[in-house]
Amino acid sequence: MGNNRNAIIIGAGIGGLSTSIRLALQGYKVTVFEKNSHAGGRCGHFEKEGHRFDTGATFLMMPEVYRSTYASFGKEMTSELDLHQSDPIYRVKFNNGIDIKFTPDLSDLQRQLENIEPGSYNKFLKLLHQGHKAYKQAMKHVIDHNYTSYFDKDMLRQIIILFRFHAFSNHYRFISRKFRNEALRDLFTFREGPMSYASSVTLDMPRIM
């Protein structure tokens, strides 16, 4: 008997392609529709007047999701992708001369933060730990949970988790309770607008060829 399981995917972005692969591995006949002439979605880019512009995220975020997708069809992400670590990840120049290179070199980052606000590095480490914990909880209990009904028995638990990690709080006010320096507040929020200390900030990011 033939396979009558068919799936249609709208959009050949990373999500669409990943879903297509997983469905195909489960025996579905998958058809992907894409309005553009190329796949990739928000991972695409365009060039104009000698400059390259990313149309979506510049960094590789949530690598474990990509790693899991490659593993699902017997491949290793590190073997299939040519990955480079950016150092610095990005550089922020403020209009008063403060220059911060956000780098994976923690000793260098510690020196920069402490020069701006003594004690800020330990606050940053606590913030990093809190953010990682929230990320893990969100992935396990929110992102990876398939909700099919408003009356899902786990819904209340997820709402409690969101409140626990300040998901409904104003992010700038939350960061302001941790850092006194306005440059650091802007660094960790990318705040915009006329009240922003970094209203004339320059954000430099390395280009990976």
Range from 48-57, 74-83, 137-146 that averages highest in pLDDT: 74-83
Q: In terms of domains, do 144 and 189 share one?
A: yes
pLDDT at 143: 81
What is the span of the domain harbouring residue 146? 85-209
C-alpha dist (Å) from residue 128 to 46, 96, 124, 146: 33, 27, 6, 28
In single-letter form, the type of residue at position 183 comes to A
Higher pLDDT, residue 72 or 196: 72
- Mean pLDDT in residue range 97-124: 94
Output b/e per residue, 74-92; b: 16+ Cβ within 10 A: eeebeeeeeeeebebeeeb
User: Which residue among 35, 58, 83 closes a domain?
Assistant: 83
User: Which residue among 68, 83, 98 closes a domain?
Assistant: 83
pLDDT at 208: 44
User: Which residue among 83, 98, 125 closes a domain?
Assistant: 83
Tally of domains within the chain:
2
Q: In terms of domains, do 93 and 12 share one?
A: no
- Mean pLDDT in residue range 71-85: 88
Q: In terms of domains, do 73 and 108 share one?
A: no
pLDDT grade, residue 192 (50/70/90)?
low
pLDDT at 181: 93
pLDDT for 172-183, tens place per residue? 999 999 999 999
Q: Taking Cα atoms as reference points, which of 21, 31, 24 lies closest to residue 68?
A: 21
**Is the pLDDT reported for residue 59 higher than 80?**
no
**Is the pLDDT reported for residue 4 higher than 80?**
no
Q: In terms of domains, do 71 and 89 share one?
A: no
pLDDT grade, residue 206 (50/70/90)?
low
Q: In terms of domains, do 158 and 191 share one?
A: yes
